[in-house]
Structure 1
């Protein structure tokens, strides 16, 4: 198992509280809900950057499609836990965004993960370059340079 993600690697966090409906018969959060947590946090990340999803991301005739998700469960979340979901763009490619994900309860790392989206033409679904305005917003927020 890899080491837990560092909270210091993230500049954006979204709080979530575990609801009763998300807990399985083992009294822990059902694994599929962690992808929902990631999706909610990514939407809020875009909101923090001043990006309205999906309107702004589709205005150039493109859209984003998830092509890979990886989650590593380090410890379980339980009903009524207050979680902090950290999201950051770990890689900004020509046509893709790779998000790193970390979920914590207080200081305990519960989940580490990655979600990769590719930007593509809505109709043909063939990859297309990330819009320049999006690259600029992400680079300014994350204080990073794009990959070559």
Structure 2
């Protein structure tokens, strides 16, 4: 079971009026936006460690899979905490785990898979060692590393 203290990266946001329906319940598609905000902050934290090594060499990360599971609804004006961590590093892919909370209540869980690929050809490339090292240093629990040795 996912716990809040499993995560080192968390982003707080407030549900805006435009994100909710007439009953004040957040439309399901906005949770993916919330997850994207969280992963953006994760990449920002990693960039501070790796000096932005990704992108500079002509390759970067692309989202290829997203799965969200809804446990309870977020409501208009709620303060949400979007927790993000990397739980698996492959040769060219990585898997994020997402937990969206209102206080202590877990509202949504998710998984996002990104592939590191050439910006022009979109062909997978090995994740840079500097990025892999930074992730392992950042995480409370090191991600599973399934890269071929």
Task: Judge same fold: TM > 0.5, yes or no.
Answer: yes
C-alpha separation between the residues in 1 aligned to 2:71 and 2:108? 5
- In the alignment, structure 2 segments of 5+ residues that lack a partner are none
Structure 1 length normalisation: TM-score?
0.89
Post-superposition CA distance 1:87-142 (Å, at most 9, x none): 00010111011000000000100000000000011111111100111111111111
Structure 2 length normalisation: TM-score?
0.89
Give 3-state SS (helix, strand or coil) of 1:50's partner: helix
What is the match of residue 142 of structure 2?
A: 144
C-alpha separation between the residues in 2 aligned to 1:62 and 1:24? 39
What is the match of residue 49 of structure 1?
A: 46
What is the match of residue 106 of structure 1?
A: 103
Give 3-state SS (helix, strand or coil) of 1:124's partner: coil
Matched, 1:11 2:8: yes
Count of equivalent residues: 143
Superposition CA RMSD, Å:
1.7
- How far does residue 10 in structure 1 lie from its aligned partner after superposition? 1.2
Paired residues for 1:63-102 under 5 Å:
63-102=60-99
Give 3-state SS (helix, strand or coil) of 2:127's partner: coil
C-alpha separation between the residues in 2 aligned to 1:50 and 1:119? 15
1:133–1:71 distance in 2 versus 1, CA, 3 Å: same
- How far does residue 15 in structure 1 lie from its aligned partner after superposition? 0.4
- How far does residue 51 in structure 1 lie from its aligned partner after superposition? 4.2
C-alpha separation between the residues in 1 aligned to 2:54 and 2:36? 15
C-alpha separation between the residues in 1 aligned to 2:48 and 2:111? 21
C-alpha separation between the residues in 2 aligned to 1:121 and 1:79? 40
Post-superposition CA distance 1:8-65 (Å, at most 9, x none): 221211101100010023421111111111111111112223349xx64211111211
C-alpha separation between the residues in 2 aligned to 1:59 and 1:26? 46
- How far does residue 82 in structure 1 lie from its aligned partner after superposition? 0.3
Q: Assess if the C-alpha contact under 8 Å between 1:51 and 1:57 holds in 2.
A: no
